[in-house]
Every structure is written in structure tokens, then in C-alpha cells.
Structure 1
Amino acid sequence: MAAQDSSLSPMMDQYLRMKQGLPEDVWLFFRLGDFYEMFFEDAVEASAVLGLTLTKRHTVPMCGVPFHSVEGYIGQAVKAGKRVAIAEQKGTPVPGKLVERELVQVVSAGTLADLALLNEAEHNYIVAVFREKSAWGLACVDHTTGEFSVAEFGSQEALAEEVSRVAPRELLVSDEQRDSFPLLRPTLFYDGYAFLPGAAVPVLEAHFQVHSLEGFGCAGLRAALGAAGAVLHYLKHQLRRSTEHLRKLALRPTEGVVLIDAASQRNLDLVDARGGAKFSLLGALDGTSSPMGARKLRDWVLHPVADVDVLRGRQDAVERFLGEPFLMSKLRDSLKGVRDLERLSSKLAQGAGNARDLMALGCSLGQVPAVEADLYVLAEGCPKLGDLCGRLGDFAGLVELLAGALADEPPVTIKEGGMIRDGYSAELDELRLASRDGKAWLAEMEARERAATGIDSLKIRFNNVFGYYIEVTRANYAKVPEHYHRKQTLANAERFVTEELKRMEGTILGADERSRQLEYELFCALREEVKGFLDAIQVSADALAEADVLLAFAESAQRHGYCRPELDCSRNLSIVNGRHPVIEQVQQGVPFVPNDSLMDEEGNRVLILTGPNMAGKSTYIRQVALIVLMAQIGSFVPAESARIGVVDRIFCRVGASDDLARGQSTFMVEMSETAMILNNATERSLVILDEIGRGTATFDGLSIAWAVAEHLHDELGSRTLFATHYHELVDLVHTHPAVSNWHVEVREWKDEIVFLRKVLPGPADKSYGIQVARLAGMPESIVSRAKEILTHLEMSSTRREPKARKRQKPGMPVAREAEVTQLELLWDEEE
């Protein structure tokens, strides 16, 4: 950046003073008339990123974007990882005088206001984290909806898992705690003093205008409040954003929530999938009609609950919808007319938005009575729907006000007029009449002057420089009357004014200018009116979102033949003819083969699943996890029937991947994820493991897989589905009472295999690896050679007797030695 010196113009000096007060990653959009200009390094960078033409003024690099399309360029800049500061002109420019400018806001990834640039199905969170002794605090703000929530965790691992579920656009960490969060990837290190609870609590109390935060239920959460104070300080002071719409501080639920770590979330394809959104569970379930409903569904999928009463309430609502298909259809039509109330109301409450946003808000609120009427009918005997119905506010007065005030098709701009309907303001109507009458008078004057002068081509015109004038071609100059005063000479015409035209110009232009100003004032008053309804709108929007999700559950159940699962607090799981909720929807023309699942505390707590590759082992074990998850968000499930003892956590370790950025190999990632499961699973957890130990040497991998299975059975007691190619693991059934063997059935015919996709009791007889290699297109010469090698290995292999080891589970009666021996994977040296 060029240093300030006396050779700089006053305007450039003004620019540099603003720029020097900003962080290095912020581009300054400097308003110059109809453009936002950038200079120096900002211009060089922005021209490359935004595809702008780079020019120079007195050797200073510069580029710019039109003011009317600035939002799109801001979106591109933010997507490229930049923040954008907006410097606006204050007042009307006066020739020869420096225009005063003000830095009005900084736009960041977490504060984009243009709804067209936001993913309407996802929250747009800014998150701050802070450690206070042994507590790990989290604060989340969605500036676009007004949501503000906090939570505390007992470990960094638990905090990191919640951050991964929240998926923030910006992550703030205190610059004094740079090295305290190795599991997170901050986007910004922010002023440490803003995080200190002693400074943060007064900031929060002042913002919410309370004497204590006890009313929010978080007064003792010092780490969380430190994070909350910091994120509020960041919004107000660095980004210069309005925070008036942040009206309450909520506690994020940490108790009774089914925790799903980042790896399990990814392995189960909950909200994202490699093939696209439709291959995720969220994509399969998302039949919502509103953006609020889509975001609510995403939250539920990432935060299932373990409270049986809450889940049964949601199930009752789904069942009630299914019993009234006509009302269900009618309610869906009403919800389709509801726009994004959360983001619209928050945007308007911040003093942003235009008349079209006001109209969208009014039309959306106009749908609430119809939704309420339908829910009222359905709420009989269903407390959940009664609760939703009771949370819908009365907005009749606001809807009537907006409908009566706004024009049918208001413009995008807010200072050029055309927003307010005729008849709303008597003063505005008078000004518009004066303007219209004046323009009619001009047309009459033009006709009169043509007749008086005999100049048929005479015209009365207007421009911003000269105002209204009479234009006469050079050929008719001799006919111009003496009372015409020359205004301007052109190549082929002369322009004149008269005293009469001057007087009328003052009347017309005065009326136009005052009319536009009055319209803007009336619009601002309407926008201010919305603030008084903000709390009620946000509560209603949340109720509408829940209704939307529950209705989507009902429609999925109706369309795909889902059943209502029975839920209890046991450790049993019984699924009859279960199906994979995603695969059955995306596969074309191929019926999905359903399968049963049975797990209990006695003989079926750890299921060892064997079978060849491509047979469907991974699909089956994930299917069970997804059915359990669907049941614990309140959805019906893809099965003929299901009884599910609710789980506290779902773990899923499948596939092979590496993390080169952190220097971790595929096997290291596998072991890290497996260790995390073993360190956090409980007897109420559901554990899904696929091919543990395959990333290392055979005996090492088999040893690890065996030890993991034993630990899950003996120490943790978790319900476990363990898919493996290590056929040796099937022998666990002889020594571990809660282990059972299952396999995916295949048929062999003329050295070919047919996948039946059916899961049955008992172990698989072999792996069929060579047949699968042939199906994958392996050259026939390699297939033949592999058979020869396999035959040789099978003939030459010898089975050594393993050592016996006693295994006694606490609380079980003492068994005979023959019943407790098991395979030992390490042999005596003398053998």
C-alpha cells in the first residue's frame, strides 16, 4: 500500500485512512458515484478474482464494480475467502468539495445478506470457541436468522464434534489461545480481551438489556459466555453489523442428544455424499416446502434425540397427518406459499432489504391463518400439533398494513420511488398528482409552442444537467421567438428556455424529488414496523419449520411405505424387512431386497457379518444405522415393522481414506477413528464397523479386529454390527455368548457368483474374491494365475493349534473350561 503523502489527492487520502484501519484480508469497496472502486493491492487482487478490468489513475492501479450489481461481486469475493468493507457516500455531492464517506459495514462469509447468495437449506453460522479451565465453550450466531446459542463441553473432542455438525462459515478463536484447539481449523484469531468472561458478560447483559443472564439459563457457563461475548463484539465492532435482531440467548442441547462424530456423519452420508445431495439421507428425506423446514430437517438429522416422549410426540403428528390425506395436501399447499420468514424478518429488522422483501414477508405471513386452521383441526388428540398451533402468532394487522401500502410490483431500488401504492398516503398522492399534472402541462405547452411558432419538430425535453428545455433544429432557427433564451448550442440544434418553462420546472422537479423522499420515509416506517413483530415472527417461523418437517415425514412414509417404529429404552433392536432409505430411492428399476435385523442383550449383541465384496455387507450395516437414526428424529422407517431401543450415540467406521494434510496414512486414520469409538462408546451405543484392520499386514489386521470385537463384547457391551473378511472372527461365537454370525448369501454357478443381497444367520463359507475380481474386469490371465496360487496356498497351509485363554465376563456364572477357550492369535515360540 502506498504511503500517505502530500501528493495524494484529498479523495485518495480519505481512502487510505479508511483502508489502514482495516484488517489485511479486507477489500475496501469505495463508493464513487455509480461505482464502488478499489485501489492499489486491492485492485490488483480483485481484478484477478472478480474478472474486472484493471486500469490506472495517475499510476495508481484501480478497478470498480457498478453499485446496482455489487451484491454479486461481494458474493464472489467472500467465496474466494475475502471480506469486503463498504464505504458509502454521505449526503449529496457538491462540485469542488470532497464528498464525506463513512465505513458502514464489513461483509464476511457469516454475514452475507443477499438471500440469493445463501444456501437456503443450511444455516450460515459464525462460531466462537473459548476454553476456561476444564470447560470448552461454544457460541453460534446465524446473523441471517437471528439465532444465538451457546453450549459447554467437557472435552475438546466433544466441542470439535459439535463444530463439525454446525459447519460454521467463520470460526473465531482468541489470539491468546491459538494453540489450545489443535482439533479445529480457525478462520480468524480475534482480540483476546473480547473472550474474557469478565468483559464478555457485561457486553451480553448490555446487549440484552438485563441485569443477569440467569433468565437465559447460562449464567454459570463462563467459557460459553466468553465465546458469546466475543462473537457479539466481532459483529458489532469489526464487521459493524446491526445486532438488534439477536433477541435471546439459547442453550444448545447437549443432554438427550444422540451424538454423531464427524467421521460417522461422513461415513453414513447424512447430509453430504460423494455422488451429490440426493445420495445422502437428508436428500432422501427432504420433502420440505420452506427454507426454514429444510434447515430444521438438517438440524434434526445431525442432532437426533434419545427422549422417547419427544419422539413419540413427533410420531403422533406424522400418524395424524397420514390419517387426513386431504388436510395434509391442503397444508402442504399453504406451506408452499411461505418464504424464508426467519431471514426476511431478520434482514428487515437490521434496516436492510427492499420493498420486495416487505411484500414477500407480508404474503408469507398471510399464509399463517390457513396453516393454523388446518393444524387446529388435526391437533385434536395430538399434543404436538396443538403446541405448534399455539405458537403461530396473529399478524393480520401487519399483513393488512403491508398489502395496503406496497405497490403490486415494487422496484428493487428503495430511493427511486414506485414502492408505495396510490391511496396509502394523501400527501404522496398530492405530490404524484402535481408531477403528473405538470408533465401533462408540458405536453400541452409543447403543442401550443409548435402551433405558435410554426415549428413542427419543436420538442420539450429534460436531462439532469440542464433540466427542462425547448429544442429547435438549426433549420428552424429563424422562427424562434424573442422571449426564448438560448441555453445550449449543439451541432444541429439549439436549446432554449422560457420564464414559463422555468417556473413549471421548479414545480415538477420539486414534486418528483419530494415524492421520492416521502416514499423512502414511508418505506422506512414500514420496515421499522416489522421490528415490533420480530419475536413473534421468529417463534412462528420455528413452528412452521417443525410442521413442514413432520409433514415431509408423513409424505415420505406414504410414498415409500414406511412404518411407525416402536421405541423403548431397552437395548433390543428388531427390524423386519428393513430397506436402505437412500439406495431404494436412487436405484432405477431394480427392486431393493429387504432384510431383517435382530439385536438383543443375550445372543445377538455383536453381529459378525461375513460375505464377499459387492455382496452388500456395507449397505446392510449402514441401513441398520440409518433406520435407527430415522427413528430417533421422529420419522417413520423403511421396514415392515421395527422395534428400537433408543441409542445414545451412533458410531460408523467404514471405508479407507487418508488425511495427507495432517500427515496421516489410511491405516492411521482407520486406527484413530476406531480408537475414538472404543474410547467413547457405551452400552447404549450403536457401533457400525466395516473391515477393521484391512489397512495393514494380514496377521496384524486380524489381531486388531479380533481384539476390537472382544472389547466391544466384554468391556463396552455396545450393540455392534461388525462386517469383515477375516473369517477367523466367526469363531468368536463359541466363546462369547452375545456374538452371533450372519452372512450375505450368494450362489455359485459354473465358477460364477450371483449376489442375492439376502442376510441370513451363520457364517459365509468363503470370500469369492477371485470371482469378484473377474466381475470387476480383471484380465483372464491374472484370474487363472490367482486360482493356481490359491490352490497351492490352500494345499500347503497348516493349522496350528492356538493357546487356550480363559475369558470370564463379570456377573456371569463360572463356565466349564471347554466353554471359555477361544482362538489365541499368538502361538508359543516352541510351536
Structure 2
Amino acid sequence: MITPMMSQYLQIKDKYKDCIVFFRLGDFYEMFFEDAKIASKELELVLTKRECGLEEKAPMCGIPHVSSPTYINKLINKGFKVAICEQIEESNASKGIVNRDVVKIITPGTYFNENSNDNFFNVFLGSVFYDIYNEVFGVTFGDITTGEVYSTSLDDASLLIDELMKFSPKELIVNEDFNFDKLLSPFQNEFLITTKDIAFFTNAKLPKNVDKEKNLYEHQINSIGGFYNYIYETQRMSLSNIKQVEFYNINDFLLIDKNTKKNLELITNTYDNSKKSSLFWVLNNTNTSMGSRLLKRWIEKPLLKIGKIIRRQNCVEELIEKYNLHANLKNLLSEITDIDRLISKISLMTINPKELLSLKKCLKLLPEIKRILIQFNASLFKDIYNHFDVLDDIYDLIEDSISDDAGIAIKDGSIIKENYNIEIDELKNIKFNSKECLLNIENKEKETTGIRSLKIGYNRIFGYYIEVSKSNYDLVPENRYIRKQTLANSERYITEELKDLEEKIISAEEKLNDLEYKVFLDIRDKVEKNVVRMKEVSRHIATIDCLFSLAVVAIKNKYVKPKITEDGVIDIHEARHPVVEKLLNKFNYVPNDVYLNNFEEQLHIITGPNMAGKSTFMRQVALIVIMTQIGSFVPAKKAQISICDKIFTRIGASDDLSTGRSTFMVEMKEVAHIMDNFTQNSLIILDEVGRGTSTYDGLSIAYAIIEYLTSISKVRPKTLFATHYHELTRIEEIIPNVKNYSVSAKKIGDNLIFSRKVSKGAVDDSYGIEVAKLAGINQYIIDVAKNVMKTLEKQIDCKDIIEYQNSQEEIIVEEIDETQEFIKKIKSIDILNITPMDALTKLNELVENSKNL
């Protein structure tokens, strides 16, 4: 028959089939059956067995309770969920087996490893509700470790992919109608996906501001419901730090799709996926974790409204002008710890006394930060100043109550300051005066017995005792001393007086620890009631920190304030790539000008050899636009930037092995996405389109794309088009809004020297063989390649292609005109008033005309 304890375990495990259950037994968390097999493998634990009442022993492994965070972190990083099962009653309160239940479920989207170096990044849980009938998505992302919750509505699956790329959730919950296998295949190893039934999303208690928002769609409300339901299901409580949802519309921000984010290396590089060599790496001079996380969001979601951008710009400009305030501001900000995550611990009821002291240290700095803010005149700074709560009441509460020496333990006493609670002070008086009493007893016994080496000690088994060395046994008064323990060189005794004092001391200590614990919880609850106020201050500090960072970077790197317009013109003088110039010696970096508009300079065909800098040039234009629209100054001598609504890039080549798509197929899919979604205000970067197939196919496709972007579509986005098909440069002679630019190189003997300078005009040679030589290809191969090139070299006249294309279009137009005329004749027939003879004549005429169509 199965044992009572194992029966209890199996009942609990049945409720949490998708979790590894950590079953608390004494000082250990034990795992059984399949959970034990998984955990022993993933955590490298010894797999043992335990009697369970069945024919075979239950597989088992365990970990010490105190070491659990390390093991939990490993499981979470491997994509597992962990259900923490604890005793929910005291052992002496139960006659049989103690009651146990799951008190918390730890999942990838609800867990933050405090020992990691990822304070600069969020831990987002995503909730996606798919409305199968209207084919729309409600999307919510929230981070319970910082209290941020964002929600929007999307009408396209590609937009969902883009949002997933921006938020990078650790976990995603979806409704059962959502067929995610194909759509989310690119993310299959990046986050855990959990499917829930419809009711899980529709039957949830929502924050108040969700009910007040009138413009929310039902699918968006359902996604919010799923998010909050999952938080309650895993955390077993409502969290005060996430009771506010921030609604956003993707049309309020510059659209940067997943390929563009990756190609431009906005947050991480493409080499090892680290922050280094990314735009974030360049701009991140923040002093706080909150500021760093906010800066990341600014980079991923640049603004579209000029007014908001200029408000940020003006703050950066004033910070640069008032450089004398930088040192003080930096010192203050650098002392601010991660307030958001402290607030999260308050909401989760897990904050300890030492962390409250950290919060107090931050709050102490707020009045000084506000005194600095008053010295700025920019409107955004004034708004922050007017709403900047210094939280002095919370500071006073912690200052008055929590001892400066308090540690992380909340049940071991020594937490509460003197004069905060009268009863605690009385108990402390007994506890600390008892030491003096013990010393008095010790001195008195030394005088009475004459044993100068006599001393009073304490252990958990006997309590307080008098210890006498072996050489003084004959001086021990037998009538008062009661022997308790014999050691090798001494004897331990107790007296009635000592036991009476011990009872008072122990009673006082127990009461003191219990009371300090209760008072600490009361203090924590009082602080928790102010979570919304603290979050608001944290948000202001993050904004100040971001603006400070942009100012510092602008000063260090000699950036300029760009002029922002809506006239469709991008005009940058001596533009530089913000990342590349940091990696190179800035004195060796060659800046370049760029001028784009929607008319005569709409599309630039950029030619030049590999390694000459074409890709760097194009990327820097896109990065400067993004920097402008987050409110940053930019790496240039002068810049005028017209607001862009979307940036698209097609750069690089790679197979998509997960779906079996070739390099060329991936390229064409990306190009198709761009062609279907650009607008007049978009910026498009195309690098070597068509190279994934044969020369003739690639050249034909490249030509067709250029023609579509410049004439056929009637919507003419600003475009930079780099190519090795130098035959395409002839297009400039036919299409007036196409211009040729090139990155020049010089051949000096057999060597190739790159100038890195972009100038008007085209090159007629890609210098491929010279680049191969630079790469180290041996001379024999180089010589053979030159001979083959001479044999194969045939001029492809793109002008002929264009003239042929134009003639075909004229034929199509003529055919359309004839067809329209034929239809017009048919429509003009009055069938109610025509005679039979006229009808036959008309019909014959139409038949003859149709033969010519």
C-alpha cells in the first residue's frame, strides 16, 4: 500500500504535470519518479530510490533547501518550470502527516536570477491571444521583476514577430486556437511556449485602468487577462507593482522589423549576440539599471512625433550646455540601485531588511536630484520636476524603524531600531542587561568559591552553565552546584540562580524575535502601499539617466544636434558610423555625405569593391535616422533628417534550415516583405539583392526591384541599393530619380587601396580578384581567375534592358487602350431599341474586333 507521504506527493504532482515539483522534506527539496530522473540528469545529481509502498521503490533525488536557488536557476535556463511545495502548517500542529501545497511556480517568464549580470535587460512574459475569426492578435508583455506591463493589438503575423524580437520574452502563453508551430519556428529555442484554453484568457480579474480604457479590442483585453491570470497562477498572489498597463500603438513608433533590428545590430551584435559593437553599446552610458532598460526600449521604439523627439533633444542639448552639473548628477545616479526590482520584492513580499536599507539609501538622494532638476529649463525636465516625488515619508519610515546593521534574515532579530516600538525596547533591555547580570553572577561566584578561572558559558543543549577546570574541583560548593556535563579537563554545572536568569533571557529573546518579525512585516506593508508612487519616481530617474547618457555620448564622440523635418529629405554632412568609429581609431575614420529625397535623389545605386565600405555607409545612414528619432545627437558635422516611419534592410545571406529555405528563398521572402509594406516615408537599405542566384536572374531581379521602387509603385521611398552588378548603373540614364554613387578604390600595381569615400558616379569594376588576393588566395588561383575573366567578360547593356522594358510597357498600354475601347462599344449597345438586323451587324463587328485583341 502506498505510503501517506507519497500519496500526498502524487496528489500534488497530478495538479502540476508540466512542472518539476520540489517537495519539501525537512531541510531538503526532494523529487520523485519522472521528475527525479529529469532533475538528476539536468542537475547532475545522484539518482537514488525510496520506499513508497509500491512494488518498486520510487526513483528519488534531492537538494538542500539553502542551495535551491542555484539549482532552480539551472532548470529555468533549460526551459523547465519548478513548483515549490512547502509545509503549510507547523509539524506540532498535525497529528498525522503535515499539510503541504505548492506555494509558488517558478517559470522562465517569472524568474530573475539576482546573481546574473543581466540587470540591464528585462525578463518579459508574453501573452498572445489570437482571434481566429478576425485573424488579429492581442499582445501583452510584462516583467514582474520591474513592474512594466505593455499591451497592443496587431493585425498581421509579421508584426507579431517584430514585437517578439523587440521584447525577447523568456516565456509565451498562447490560446489553443493559435497554431504557433510554423509562425514561431524561428524562436523555438528562445522561449518556452505554454498553451491555455480560451477560458483562461477570458475569465480573469483585470487592473482598473484596463476597465477604464474605452478603445481596447476584445482580443487585446483577453491577452491582458491571460497575462494576469498566469501571474496569479504562478505567484499565488496579486502583485501591486504590475497593476498598471501601458497601452501602445505600433503606429506611434518607427517600425523596425526583425531583420532590420538584427542587420543594424541595434541591441546585440551578429557575431556572438553580446552587447558589444551594437548601437546600444555605444549609447549606453547610463548609471542605473532602470535607465539602461529604458534606453534599450528607446532604441527599439524610436518616436514618430516631432514634438516628442524635440523635447528629448532639448534636454540633451541643455545637459551638454550645463556640463558643470554632470559630475553631481552622475554621482547621484550611480548611487541609485535597481529600484524597480526592489519594488518587485516588496510586492512579492520577499524583501529583506538589508534591501529596505538599500531602498532608503536611494530615497535619501531624491531631494538632491530634484534640486539639480530645478536648474534646467527644458520642458521635459520641468515636467519631471513638477511630478518628482521625493518620497520623504517612506524614507523617514525606514530611517526610524530599520536598524542600520540589519542583515538579510527576518526572523533572527536585530532588525528594529530603538525608540520605534516600546515593547521591543523593553525586551531588548532584558536581553542586553542579562549580559551584565551574567557577568555579575560570574564575578560573585569567583569571589564566593575562590575559583578565579571560573566562567559562564552557553550551548543549545544545556543553556547557560558554569565551567570549572579540573584543578579546581575541590573548591566547587556541592550544595549549590548541580553537575550537568563532564569534559576531559573540566566540569560544567548549573545553579538555581543561573537557571532563573536563563529562563528570563530565553523568553525575552523568543518574544523579541517574534515581535521584531511582526513589526518588520507591518513596516513592509506600509511601504508596499506606496508602490505606485515609487514606480513613478523610478520612471523619472530612468528618463533622466537616459537623457544624461545621450548627452555624455554626444560630448565624448562629438555628435551634433540634427534638424528634424517632414519634407522627405535626409541631408547628412560628414556622416560617421557610430559603432565602427568607436572600434577604429576615430582619426582614421573617413566620413561621408548623403543626400536623399523622394524625387531626383530617391534611389542611390552604390557600387564599389568588397570591403570598400558600402555596407558600413548604408548602415550608418539608417543608424543616424534611428538615433535622431530617439532624441539623440548624431555622428556627423551637420544633419537634417526627415521623419521616417519604417526602416527596412536586406543585408547578408543565410539559409533557413528550420524551414528548408535556401539563401535565395530567404532573400526573396525578405524583399517581398519590404515591397509589400514600404511607404513614401520609409527608408530602405538593400545590399547585393539577387546575388543568391545566377548572374542573369540576379541582375534581372535587381533591375525589376529598382524600377518598382522608383516608378511602377507610384510610392517612392528613399532607398540605398548596393550592388556588384555595375551594369545597373546605366539605369541612371533612363530613370531620373536614380543616381549612381560609388566607394572608390585605386589599383597600384597589383595592389588595391580603399579610399572609403563615397562620391557621385559609378565604378565599372568590382575588383573581385584583387579582393581575393588581399584575402590571401594564392597567386596561381589569382592568375587563372584573371585569364578566365578575360574570356567570359561580356558587357551586359542594362540600357537595352530598360529600352526593351519600356517598349513592352508601351505595348501593354496600347493593348489596354484597345481593350477599353472594345468594352466601351459593348456598353454603348442599346439592346432594348436595336432591330434584329442591326443586332446581327453589331455582333459581327464585335466578333471581328475581338480577333485583333
Q: TM-score, normalised by structure 1?
A: 0.90
Report SS of the residue matched to 1:235.
helix
Say whether residues 1:393 and 2:389 are aligned partners.
Answer: yes
Residue in structure 2 matching 1:626, options 623, 626, 643: 623
Gaps of 5+ in 1: 815-831
Residues 598 and 693 of structure 1: CA distance in aligned 2, closer, same or farther (over 3 Å): same
Partner of 2:719: 720
Structure 1 residue 373: deviation in Å? 1.5
Amino acid paired to 2:728:
L
Partner of 1:653: 650
Structure 1 residue 117: deviation in Å? 3.9
Contact 1:178 1:189 in 2 (8 A): no
Residue in structure 2 matching 1:536, options 520, 533, 536: 533
Amino acid paired to 1:19:
K
Following the alignment from structure 1 to structure 2, what is the Cα–Cα distance between the partners of residues 284 and 552? 10
Partner of 2:281: 283
**Partner deviation per Cα, 1:125-146 (whole Å, 9 max, x = no partner):** 1111112232211011111122
Amino acid paired to 2:171:
E
Following the alignment from structure 2 to structure 1, what is the Cα–Cα distance between the partners of residues 243 and 201? 22
**Partner deviation per Cα, 1:328-348 (whole Å, 9 max, x = no partner):** 332222211211122211221
Identity of aligned residues (%): 37
Q: TM-score, normalised by structure 2?
A: 0.88
Partner of 1:15: 9
Partner of 1:224: 220
Say whether residues 1:586 and 2:583 are aligned partners.
Answer: yes
774-783 vs 420-429, which moves further: 420-429
Structure 1 residue 762: deviation in Å? 0.4
Partner of 2:356: 358
Partner of 2:747: 748
Amino acid paired to 1:150:
S
Say whether residues 1:731 and 2:724 are aligned partners.
Answer: no
Contact 2:355 2:408 in 1 (8 A): no
Structure 1 residue 544: deviation in Å? 1.3
Structure 1 residue 455: deviation in Å? 5.6
TM alignment of 1:590-739, pairs within 5 A: 591-714=588-711, 715=713, 716-739=715-738
Contact 2:153 2:249 in 1 (8 A): no
Partner of 1:111: 110
Say whether residues 1:300 and 2:298 are aligned partners.
Answer: yes
Following the alignment from structure 2 to structure 1, what is the Cα–Cα distance between the partners of residues 783 and 544? 60
Partner of 2:40: 47
Structure 1 residue 108: deviation in Å? 1.3
Residues 385 and 94 of structure 1: CA distance in aligned 2, closer, same or farther (over 3 Å): same
TM alignment of 1:16-165, pairs within 5 A: 16-24=10-18, 26-58=19-51, 59-94=57-92, 98-117=97-116, 119-132=118-131, 133-134=133-134, 135-165=136-166
TM alignment of 1:490-509, pairs within 5 A: 495-509=492-506
Contact 2:139 2:220 in 1 (8 A): yes
Report SS of the residue matched to 1:123.
coil
Alignment: residue pair count: 792
Residues 689 and 454 of structure 1: CA distance in aligned 2, closer, same or farther (over 3 Å): same
Residues 180 and 789 of structure 1: CA distance in aligned 2, closer, same or farther (over 3 Å): closer
Contact 1:611 1:617 in 2 (8 A): yes
Amino acid paired to 2:251:
E
Partner of 1:256: 252
Structure 1 residue 457: deviation in Å? 6.0
Report SS of the residue matched to 2:806.
coil
Following the alignment from structure 1 to structure 2, what is the Cα–Cα distance between the partners of residues 228 and 425? 43
Following the alignment from structure 1 to structure 2, what is the Cα–Cα distance between the partners of residues 40 and 674? 52
Partner of 1:771: 770
**Partner deviation per Cα, 1:674-724 (whole Å, 9 max, x = no partner):** 111111111110000111111111111111111111111121311000011
386-395 vs 629-638, which moves further: 386-395
Partner of 2:805: 805
Contact 2:253 2:302 in 1 (8 A): yes
Partner of 2:836: none
Structure 1 residue 30: deviation in Å? 2.7
Contact 2:120 2:290 in 1 (8 A): yes
Say whether residues 1:444 and 2:440 are aligned partners.
Answer: yes
Following the alignment from structure 1 to structure 2, what is the Cα–Cα distance between the partners of residues 626 and 735? 31
Contact 1:151 1:252 in 2 (8 A): yes
Partner of 1:193: 198
Amino acid paired to 2:194:
F
Contact 1:38 1:62 in 2 (8 A): yes
Residues 114 and 89 of structure 1: CA distance in aligned 2, closer, same or farther (over 3 Å): farther
**Partner deviation per Cα, 1:575-631 (whole Å, 9 max, x = no partner):** 000000011112247621100001122221100000000000010000000001100
Following the alignment from structure 1 to structure 2, what is the Cα–Cα distance between the partners of residues 470 and 20? 56
Residues 589 and 252 of structure 1: CA distance in aligned 2, closer, same or farther (over 3 Å): closer
**Partner deviation per Cα, 1:730-774 (whole Å, 9 max, x = no partner):** 111112111000000111101211011000000013111111101
Say whether residues 1:785 and 2:790 are aligned partners.
Answer: no
Structure 1 residue 191: deviation in Å? 2.6
Report SS of the residue matched to 1:503.
helix
182-191 vs 727-736, which moves further: 182-191
Amino acid paired to 1:107:
I
Contact 1:562 1:639 in 2 (8 A): yes
Partner of 2:310: 312
Say whether residues 1:468 and 2:464 are aligned partners.
Answer: yes
Residues 234 and 620 of structure 1: CA distance in aligned 2, closer, same or farther (over 3 Å): same
Say whether residues 1:432 and 2:416 are aligned partners.
Answer: no
Following the alignment from structure 1 to structure 2, what is the Cα–Cα distance between the partners of residues 471 and 48? 52
Following the alignment from structure 1 to structure 2, what is the Cα–Cα distance between the partners of residues 62 and 315? 61
Structure 1 residue 226: deviation in Å? 0.7
- What RMSD in Å do the two structures reach over aligned CA positions? 2.6
Following the alignment from structure 1 to structure 2, what is the Cα–Cα distance between the partners of residues 180 and 770? 45
Residues 744 and 484 of structure 1: CA distance in aligned 2, closer, same or farther (over 3 Å): same
Amino acid paired to 1:309:
G
117-126 vs 368-377, which moves further: 117-126
Structure 1 residue 506: deviation in Å? 1.4
Partner of 2:325: 327
Residues 90 and 804 of structure 1: CA distance in aligned 2, closer, same or farther (over 3 Å): closer
Following the alignment from structure 2 to structure 1, what is the Cα–Cα distance between the partners of residues 586 and 242? 50
Contact 1:296 1:545 in 2 (8 A): yes
Partner of 1:822: none
Partner of 2:840: none
Residues 607 and 311 of structure 1: CA distance in aligned 2, closer, same or farther (over 3 Å): same
Structure 1 residue 244: deviation in Å? 2.8
Structure 1 residue 154: deviation in Å? 1.4
Following the alignment from structure 1 to structure 2, what is the Cα–Cα distance between the partners of residues 258 and 37? 51
Amino acid paired to 1:49:
E
Following the alignment from structure 1 to structure 2, what is the Cα–Cα distance between the partners of residues 44 and 484? 58
Amino acid paired to 2:72:
I
Amino acid paired to 2:84:
I
Partner of 1:340: 338
Contact 1:580 1:619 in 2 (8 A): yes
**Partner deviation per Cα, 1:174-219 (whole Å, 9 max, x = no partner):** 134345872465723333133554x34xx21xx53x8xx452344x
Amino acid paired to 2:319:
F
Contact 1:112 1:118 in 2 (8 A): no
Following the alignment from structure 1 to structure 2, what is the Cα–Cα distance between the partners of residues 409 and 664? 62
**Partner deviation per Cα, 1:91-129 (whole Å, 9 max, x = no partner):** 544398644434211111222255334722112111111
166-175 vs 73-82, which moves further: 73-82
Contact 1:156 1:181 in 2 (8 A): no
Residues 173 and 637 of structure 1: CA distance in aligned 2, closer, same or farther (over 3 Å): same
Say whether residues 1:235 and 2:234 are aligned partners.
Answer: no
Residues 52 and 417 of structure 1: CA distance in aligned 2, closer, same or farther (over 3 Å): farther
Amino acid paired to 2:32:
F
Partner of 2:173: 172
Following the alignment from structure 2 to structure 1, what is the Cα–Cα distance between the partners of residues 5 and 449? 50
Amino acid paired to 2:192:
T
Following the alignment from structure 1 to structure 2, what is the Cα–Cα distance between the partners of residues 64 and 512? 34
Following the alignment from structure 1 to structure 2, what is the Cα–Cα distance between the partners of residues 663 and 491? 79
430-439 vs 120-129, which moves further: 430-439
Report SS of the residue matched to 1:82.
coil
